[in-house]
């Protein structure tokens, strides 16, 4: 009788990890809906700068900015998003459809992170399901990282290609380490990983210069691996990958007219270790302790000869060191430069027994934050809120002789939403004020008062009359943002 009894083990513990993944996907979709509904893709001015470059490149074949009359070229080689926009323009997408298409592409790329993170985690030592599920959940529900990956900027695609590149290199290191000693040709799978690593490194360099940090970390790992194994085939691959990345990086400068290749490249790596300012204490207090922890992990796992984990750790350390390139005047300004290796830091936190439960707590907080934020009314910076209102009213600068004036910090969004090149101030182009001219001014109250006072002064001096109209009469904010139209500029008849 006793032998026929079959008491099954509770299945709840096995279902919990799966349930957490499902909840994470649901929260991820809710965050996407919140992002699209709030039009957060319109909330960073760099996106409009890249759009202007792409639009001009598509129509003229020259990569200069049409946003202002100056027509400046790209100031950095990070033009991957410009080339993507150019492709989307080629298939006839309108400007908002283009932005939405980039968001969709970024979302698909973001979801693809699950596979390389899963495989990389296995290579560095993950065994239990909870660590893996927590890592995947952190990437899916981490709101700051998720929104950064969706924005119409270089960050999203670069952050994803970084993880794919790290996986390909880690897998290549692992496969090389499991082979026998002595000279051997790479296997088919190793050739495949070399090909994918080359592809992701060459794509990534178009989006962010930090891609050089990853191939640099690969070079250091391969060097240490070669010294340990007395085999330098991996070092040859790393050297070729570094050389290819540098050549492409240099080629972007030459092809698209970006200046300062030598000075920019030369300033990066020394500054990683030598530049400090009075704001550095913030950085030290926030990141140096974590950097020391990563160093301890690297030392420990180097003794165990897990070179894939050593490589992942070096990627994180080099990313932290790169932030010394900046003067730390504003923490959020360099936060985006830490995001490409953020999933890897979570991976290492969950891997280390001392900090594993801290990692679980972090994932729980990220989940609660996303659920809370997705219920809030969107909170915009005043410029973003103003131009979302302009977009809602569909205001444009119509007319053959229409001219648009905005402060410099408003110029990119004014160009996109109002449809004209921007001039920063009427006083600099006073000859533009003549009969038949139609002027549009977009900006805060202080700027508008100054420019409209100049209009009145100049029209009085030239005996010109005009009509003035506010195109946003019902809009009120803390700085008095508005769009004002000056039209019917005509010569006044003399009266006696």
**Residue 463 in tokens:** 């005996």
Per-residue pLDDT band for 258 (boundaries 50, 70, 90) equals low
* Paired sense of beta strands 438-443 and 402-405, if any: parallel
pLDDT one-digit tens code per residue, 289-318: 465 556 666 666 666 778 888 899 889 888
Q: Report whether pLDDT(368) > 50.
A: yes
Q: In terms of pLDDT, which residue wins out, 379 or 195?
A: 195
pLDDT one-digit tens code per residue, 107-151: 999 999 999 999 999 998 887 788 899 999 999 988 889 998 999
Separation between Cα atoms, residue 418 and residue 413, nearest integer Å:
8
* Paired sense of beta strands 482-491 and 402-405, if any: unpaired
Q: Which domains does the chain have, with CATH numbers?
A: 14-373 (no CATH), 382-491 (3.30.110)
> What DSSP element (H or E) covers 134?
helix 129-141
pLDDT one-digit tens code per residue, 58-117: 888 888 887 766 667 777 778 899 999 999 999 989 888 999 999 999 999 999 999 999
Residues in the chain: 496
Q: In terms of pLDDT, which residue wins out, 159 or 67?
A: 159
Separation between Cα atoms, residue 280 and residue 324, nearest integer Å:
9
Separation between Cα atoms, residue 212 and residue 112, nearest integer Å:
22
Exposure string for 101-134, b = 16+ CB within 10 A, e = fewer: bbbebbbebbbebbebbeebbebbebeeebbbbb
* Paired sense of beta strands 482-491 and 422-423, if any: unpaired
**Residue 297 in tokens:** 């992990």
Query: 484: closest CA among 436, 450, 435?
Result: 450
Per-residue pLDDT band for 5 (boundaries 50, 70, 90) equals very low
pLDDT of residue 51: 92
Q: Give mean pLDDT, residues 262-287.
A: 45
**Least confident among 236-245, 299-308, 349-358, 476-485:** 299-308
Q: Are 317 and 291 in contact (CB under 8 A)?
A: yes
* Paired sense of beta strands 422-423 and 402-405, if any: parallel
pLDDT of residue 272: 41
Beta bridge partners of 470: 484
- How buried is residue 47: exposed, middle or buried, by Cβ count under 10 Å (0-12/13-18/19+)? buried
How many angstroms separate the Cα of 85 from the Cα of each of 52, 82, 156, 230, 297?
10, 5, 14, 47, 41
Q: Report whether pLDDT(213) > 50.
A: yes
How many angstroms separate the Cα of 388 from the Cα of each of 266, 374, 424, 446?
41, 19, 21, 21
Q: Give mean pLDDT, residues 209-230.
A: 87
Chain mean pLDDT for the chain: 80
pLDDT one-digit tens code per residue, 239-256: 998 888 888 877 776 666
Q: Are 312 and 117 in contact (CB under 8 A)?
A: no
Largest pairwise CA distance in the chain: 123
pLDDT one-digit tens code per residue, 444-455: 999 998 888 888
According to DSSP, residue 286 is labeled I
CB atoms within 10 A of CB 2: 4
CB-based contacts of 329: which residues, under 8 Å, 6+ apart?
A: 277, 279
Q: Are 60 and 26 in contact (CB under 8 A)?
A: no
DSSP letters spanning 76-101: SS--HHHHHHHHHHHTT--HHHHHHH
pLDDT of residue 87: 93
pLDDT of residue 130: 87
pLDDT of residue 494: 58
pLDDT of residue 439: 86
Q: Report whether pLDDT(7) > 50.
A: no
pLDDT of residue 45: 84
Q: Report whether pLDDT(200) > 90.
A: yes
Query: 105: closest CA among 130, 84, 86?
Result: 84
SS3 of residue 488 by DSSP: strand
Q: How far is CA 28 from the centre of its chain?
A: 18
Q: Give mean pLDDT, residues 177-200.
A: 81
pLDDT of residue 71: 65
């Amino acid at each position: 009788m006793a032998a026929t009894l079959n008491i099954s083990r509770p299945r709840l513990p096995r279902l919990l990890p799966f349930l957490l993944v499902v909840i994470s996907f649901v929260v991820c979709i809710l965050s996407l809906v919140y992002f699209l509904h709030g039009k957060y893709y319109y909330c960073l001015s760099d996106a409009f700068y890249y759009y202007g470059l792409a639009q001009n490149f598509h129509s003229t074949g020259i990569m200069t900015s049409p946003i202002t009359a100056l027509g400046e070229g790209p100031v950095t080689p990070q033009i991957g998003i410009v080339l993507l926009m150019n492709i989307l323009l080629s298939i006839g997408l309108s400007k908002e459809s283009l932005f939405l298409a980039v968001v969709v592409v970024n979302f698909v790329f973001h979801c693809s992170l699950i596979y390389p993170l899963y495989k990389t985690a296995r290579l560095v030592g993950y065994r239990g399901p909870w660590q893996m599920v927590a890592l995947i959940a952190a990437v899916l529900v981490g709101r700051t990282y998720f929104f950064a990956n969706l924005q119409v900027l270089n960050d999203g695609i670069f952050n994803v290609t970084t993880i794919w590149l790290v996986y390909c290199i880690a897998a290549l290191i692992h496969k090389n380490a499991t082979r026998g000693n002595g000279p051997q040709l790479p296997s088919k799978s190793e050739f495949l990983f070399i090909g994918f690593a080359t592809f992701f490194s060459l794509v990534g360099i178009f989006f962010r210069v930090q891609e050089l940090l990853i191939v640099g970390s690969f070079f250091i790992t391969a060097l240490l691996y070669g010294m340990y194994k007395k085999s330098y085939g991996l070092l040859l691959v790393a050297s070729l990958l570094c050389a290819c990345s540098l050549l492409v990086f240099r080629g972007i400068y030459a092809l698209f007219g970006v200046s300062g290749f030598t000075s920019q490249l030369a300033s990066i790596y020394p500054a990683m270790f030598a530049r400090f300012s009075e704001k550095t204490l913030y950085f030290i207090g926030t990141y140096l302790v974590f950097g020391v922890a990563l160093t301890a992990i690297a030392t420990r796992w180097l003794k165990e000869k897990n070179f894939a984990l050593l490589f992942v750790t070096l990627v994180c350390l080099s990313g932290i060191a790169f932030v010394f390139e900046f003067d730390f005047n504003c923490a959020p300004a360099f936060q985006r430069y830490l995001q490409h290796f953020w999933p890897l830091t979570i991976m290492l936190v969950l891997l280390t027994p001392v900090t594993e439960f801290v990692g679980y707590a972090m994932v729980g907080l990220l989940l609660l934050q996303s659920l809370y934020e997705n219920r809030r009314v969107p909170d915009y910076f005043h410029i973003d809120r103003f131009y979302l209102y302009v977009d809602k009213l569909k205001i444009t600068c119509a007319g053959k002789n229409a001219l648009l004036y905005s402060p410099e910090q408003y110029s990119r969004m004014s160009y996109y939403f109002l449809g004209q090149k921007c001039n920063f101030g009427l006083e600099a182009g006073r000859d533009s004020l003549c009969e038949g001219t139609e002027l549009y001014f977009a900006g805060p109250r202080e700027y508008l008062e100054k420019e409209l006072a100049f209009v009145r002064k100049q029209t009085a001096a030239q005996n010109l009359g005009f009509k003035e109209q506010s195109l946003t009469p019902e809009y009120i904010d803390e700085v008095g943002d508005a769009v004002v139209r000056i039209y019917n500029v005509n010569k006044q008849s003399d009266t006696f």
